[in-house]
Structure 1
Amino acid sequence: MSSVPLTKFGAESLKAELVRLKTKERPSVINAIAEARAHGDLSENADYDAAKERQGFIEGRIADLEGKLGAAQIIDPTTLDADGRVVFAATVDLEDLETGEKVTYQIVGLDEADIKVSKVSVTSPIARALIGKSAGDVVGVQAPSGIREYEILEVRYI
């Protein structure tokens, strides 16, 4: 299995989810299954079916998280020495050259990407365009509306 890049924060979030699933969700669903079994005929027991389905989801997610964490390459942005270049885990301030709008993105792993909190996946078009560039560079990003040009204002490792 290839390594999965994660920021330190992303790895901690996945670990917290894994602990929650193992200590809270798994015991809860086991209790729900036992309670549904106590009601008798399982062939027409919707509670039992729902609990078994939930158990399957939880066990699948636990296996997924364990696999990702086992293959994780954890990168702490505060320890990076990339000479001002955009690399995985960097935070980048950009200016849209057409609108003048300023945005900030952190380049993160696929599992931690969340545009609502300005975290973009390393596989996204904007991240791919930014990787290896430095402050002052202008990059073109293919967007649904056409190519958008951004100037890199600052690259930080926080």
Structure 2
Amino acid sequence: VKSLDYLSNKAQQLAVSSLWQLVGIDILGPYREPQGSERNSPMVARYVLLVHDSVSAYTVGRVLPDSKSSTVAENLHAVFCEYGSPAAALTDKSFSSFITRAVKLVFIKHAVRHYLLPGYGANLSFYERWHRDLVQMCRSIRSQAGDDQPWTHAFFVALRAYNLCPKA
């Protein structure tokens, strides 16, 4: 029997005293977009790895070609090397990639305490609430630029706008 470290409503009450101490990690997608720059290119699925700081609400995003645990682990390692390792990370069970050996090894390597939320619930985590807004921003950007605009481009424009906006 595997032991998973579940965290329920206590997630909202974790004491955080500095930036990047507690992050929420999630994967959005799949989003379909053309493989190449041509209109007739075959469609491929893309995912987005999000790492969201609980204090500043700053979010780091990485576009993933798939949601395999090796891809997620590699990109998490890159984010932790670039921004520093948080003390704790919250994930939910929407993608099983977070409870695999490859990702657990990244958490161990970076000394990150991993807490697993029981499932999707906007009231359970600080990082789930803004995903809907991010998707709506992407849709708006794509509709104004035409639907030929790739999801990944719209995502980075929306993420930059989100990170630059002051938060209360």
TM range (shorter): under 0.3
- TM-score scaled by length of structure 1: 0.22
Larger Rg: 1
